[in-house]
Structure 1
Amino acid sequence: MTRAFRPIVAAAMTAAFILPATADTVVFEMIPNVFSANDMTPDGRYIVGEAPGGPYILDTTTNVMTVLPGPGYAAVAVSDDGTVVLGDMPDPTTGDEVAGLWTQATGWQSLGYLPDALACPSRSNGYELSADGTVATGLSWDGCSGRGFLWTQATGMVELEALANGGNRASVLSADGTRFGGFAQGSSNRTPCFWDDTTAGTLLDPPNGNAVGEVYGMTDDGSVMLGTWNGDAVMWRPDLTRVILGDGQIIAGWTGIPMDMADDDTVVGFDFLAGNRRAWIRPQNEGPLLELKAWIQANGGTVPGGFQTQVCQAISVDGRHIIGHSGLPTPGAWRVTIIPDCPADLTGDDTIGPADLAVLLGAWGPNRGHAADFDGDGTVGPADLAILLGAWGDCP
């Protein structure tokens, strides 16, 4: 689960830019006629964001883009199967901006707001969905002091524990809807924190939240969290040990913001300073943070002249799909696709053999986004096994 950011120096070409497995092909492309790419399903198939005509959902398998009919005006998160979209809409009673859910069957439905929320200017905003689309989280208010919320159909909107000095927001959510990450107002600024599905919260810098930062992303199971700590991009391991990613940022003096992590531990994010943003990637979570545009070009991709990749928003679980968007002077949304030249080589040793077969069999069954789902139908099954066996031997 990745959704945490609302849209608005090339490194040297060294061996660190080269993909670690076989000679994969990296393709960069603009997503036509849209402003933003805010979230993507774990398998990379569905992308949501905003376009001139309203919020959209793009099916990258069929290349069909659907502009969602009103009254919703933002699409910020999508369920794993692409059927539920979280965004914002005018409340049908008050007209104030509130979080809303869209499905094909129901259209847009308001999630409401917390009982004491004033219009600040919204009464609530959606930020993230669980994998099945049944749990949502985001921002509502106590007066005009921010509060994180948990929403389900059964409970409605429930306030997460108010931490530190108020000013809370829940920005990300684990796939099963049991861990929430975000920030509270600490002693001087935003400070990172998280909550569980009982609504109990934890400051990551207790007791006062002196550290400046927030939680921006997490692995699908919620065991590893990504965020910023006093300007550095960091991750928190399951035991809450904090580790700086690379040097913490690609540009000294900027703030490193990690957004998402693939199953192979590749992390994507961006640096920020005074309204300026620069996207980066850390392959397999090893070595330095690499400026994304330079990494794409070093691996055979072509980025339009003068275009800058600014915000890396999400990466698929297999690490083969990355989305993001850029603002002025060259606005637009984009995606990066890493096409494996030997897709059945699941272990990256340039040979398809028993080890790859073991990986496939271990992933057998419904497993959307797994690298062994070669035919992309959301299930690792007989068709995928046939593809692997047909490629048995050395990679070409």
Structure 2
Amino acid sequence: MRLSRVVSVAGACALAVASAVSAGEKTGSFHLLGMPGLYPADASADGRIVAGYNTSQFWYWTAEQGLTFIGGVSPNNGGAGTAGISDDGTRVGFTVINPANNKTEGAFYEIATGTTTLIGNFGFSCDASAISCWGVSGDGQTMVGLGWHNQCAARAYRYSAAGGLVDMGTSVAGRSTRANAANFNGAVIVGWQDQASGFRQGAVWKNGTQKLINTNTGQAVGEAGAVSGDGNWVVGLGSSGNNFLGWRWSEKTGYLPLPATPIPSLPRCFPTGVSDDGSRILLFYRTQFPPATGGEGYMWIDGTLKPLETLAAEAGIVLSPDVRMALPLGMSADGYTIVGTARTASGIQGFILDLPRPAPACPADLNGDGEVGAADLAALLSAWGGAAGSGDLDGDGSVGAADLAALLSAWGACS
């Protein structure tokens, strides 16, 4: 099953770029995607590839190529869930229609080949929906989401090629569950568990075992929406029991509230992402009422709350004064590429904010093992002549002799 169409947004559509660089370069950049109805949802670890959906189907984006539409059935077109992308940017998780039964099903799209692989279903459906994709692990091997059972009972699921499609069950008889996100290797999955009252309580499954999240005084909190790559940090929605404060949680610390709203008219906190190390949490404040873009986007960084527009300004990225990054939906593993939907004078548009990344302490350590050695040399040589990437140590846009010289001069343990 394959449906792929490339749109050169830079040419055919109005692509606004603040700062004349492509995504991922050190000076940072900001893109408005121009076409109406685009919802960027997730980004690769380096921010170079973004996945999302529009009012009918799913897509991925790069600064060089623009939008590539990949088919599927979006949440705005009778589908459900969202788009996810692996950290290396090779696989997109999305929801499609299975032509064998005309029901929705989760699927992986391989960017290199343009092929789509469906994950299967539990043999039940609720109306036209059988399975939907809500998240993809960082390594791209695990998909999580919601699968329907008999009499429209929903169940969280996990899927991998090695383990197949697994029903993650429910701890409250007759009530539904859903998985929203997975950590890098798929061992820690987060989402919600319906209580007998119908309240969706935050839930964490570690190696298949469920834990429900409460405040330190025993009040149930709302659904968990994101988990760090190492699985240590989980973030989610508040509830009436904690004044609708967003929260973060780890096994070591337990429940920790996120800051109360800085804007009294936007009382509720909606965390949507957490960096691999847990130091950066993407969120927005809004009312519980529409429109979805009626709020304001923020980043929590080691205890400090900053508007996304302030982060852009501090990075030297000049935005039009009418742009408000109101609905941030996802970010890269390091928290430096932020994607979502913005309010602008010309209407609602998808945005990609790519903040400058700190220079690595040991840039020639391409495999991150703490030393520069044969494995790094092999990685650089395999990228020889290619475009900018981790092997482009001098930042000139290609991997060549100067990069080899820089790697050899750094040979040995990183200091």
TM-score for the superposition, normalised by structure 1: 0.74
Q: Deviations over 1:99-146 (max 9, x none)?
A: 22222547223222223x332452111011123322111011223122
Q: Given the alignment, which residue of 269, 272, 287 partners 1:259?
A: 272
**Is the 8 Å Cα contact of residues 72 and 108 (structure 1) preserved in structure 2?**
no
When residues 210 and 159 of structure 1 are mapped into structure 2, their CA distance, relative to the original with a 3 A threshold, is farther
Would you say 1:59 and 2:62 are equivalent positions?
A: yes
Q: Deviations over 1:247-278 (max 9, x none)?
A: 23333362212222335612211123112332
Q: Given the alignment, which residue of 202, 205, 227 partners 1:192?
A: 202
Would you say 1:281 and 2:299 are equivalent positions?
A: yes
**Shift of residue 314, structure 1, vs aligned partner:** 2.6
**Shift of residue 385, structure 1, vs aligned partner:** 8.4
Q: Given the alignment, which residue of 67, 79, 86 partners 1:79?
A: 86
Could you tell me which amino acid in structure 2 is paired with residue 98 of structure 1? E
Q: Deviations over 1:362-383 (max 9, x none)?
A: 27567x9xxxxx9523799993
**Is the 8 Å Cα contact of residues 47 and 354 (structure 2) preserved in structure 1?**
no
Q: How does 1:50-129 map to 2 (within 5 A)?
A: 50-51=53-54, 54-60=57-63, 62-68=64-70, 70-71=71-72, 73=74, 76-103=83-110, 104-105=112-113, 107-115=115-123, 117-129=124-136
Equivalent in the alignment of 1:11: none
Could you tell me which amino acid in structure 2 is paired with residue 269 of structure 1? L
Q: Given the alignment, which residue of 264, 268, 274 partners 2:282?
A: 268
Would you say 1:248 and 2:250 are equivalent positions?
A: no
What's the % identity of the aligned pairs?
20
**Shift of residue 330, structure 1, vs aligned partner:** 2.6
Would you say 1:331 and 2:348 are equivalent positions?
A: yes
**2:93, 2:199 → 1: CA distance?**
28
Equivalent in the alignment of 2:14: none
Equivalent in the alignment of 2:318: 302
When residues 71 and 313 of structure 1 are mapped into structure 2, their CA distance, relative to the original with a 3 A threshold, is closer
Could you tell me which amino acid in structure 1 is paired with residue 351 of structure 2? W
Pairs aligned (count): 342
When residues 389 and 271 of structure 1 are mapped into structure 2, their CA distance, relative to the original with a 3 A threshold, is farther
When residues 279 and 76 of structure 1 are mapped into structure 2, their CA distance, relative to the original with a 3 A threshold, is same
Equivalent in the alignment of 2:31: 29
Could you tell me which amino acid in structure 2 is paired with residue 48 of structure 1? A
Equivalent in the alignment of 1:3: none
SS at match of 1:309: strand
SS at match of 1:211: coil
Q: Which has the higher contact order (CA 8 A, sep 6+)?
A: 1
Equivalent in the alignment of 2:210: 201
SS at match of 1:38: strand
Q: Given the alignment, which residue of 174, 179, 182 partners 2:188?
A: 179
When residues 137 and 305 of structure 1 are mapped into structure 2, their CA distance, relative to the original with a 3 A threshold, is same
SS at match of 2:39: coil
Could you tell me which amino acid in structure 2 is paired with residue 190 of structure 1? R
**Is the 8 Å Cα contact of residues 161 and 200 (structure 1) preserved in structure 2?**
no
**Is the 8 Å Cα contact of residues 183 and 214 (structure 1) preserved in structure 2?**
yes
When residues 212 and 151 of structure 1 are mapped into structure 2, their CA distance, relative to the original with a 3 A threshold, is same
Unpaired stretches in structure 1, ≥5 consecutive residues? 1-23, 348-354, 369-373, 391-396
Equivalent in the alignment of 1:386: 406
Unpaired stretches in structure 2, ≥5 consecutive residues? 1-25, 76-81, 380-386, 394-398, 411-415
Q: Given the alignment, which residue of 309, 314, 320 partners 2:330?
A: 314
Equivalent in the alignment of 2:23: none
**1:219, 1:39 → 2: CA distance?**
14
**1:357, 1:88 → 2: CA distance?**
39
Q: CA RMSD in A?
A: 3.5
**Shift of residue 298, structure 1, vs aligned partner:** 5.5
Would you say 1:170 and 2:179 are equivalent positions?
A: yes
**1:291, 1:160 → 2: CA distance?**
37
Q: Given the alignment, which residue of 147, 150, 156 partners 2:164?
A: 156
**Is the 8 Å Cα contact of residues 163 and 203 (structure 1) preserved in structure 2?**
no
TM-score for the superposition, normalised by structure 2: 0.71
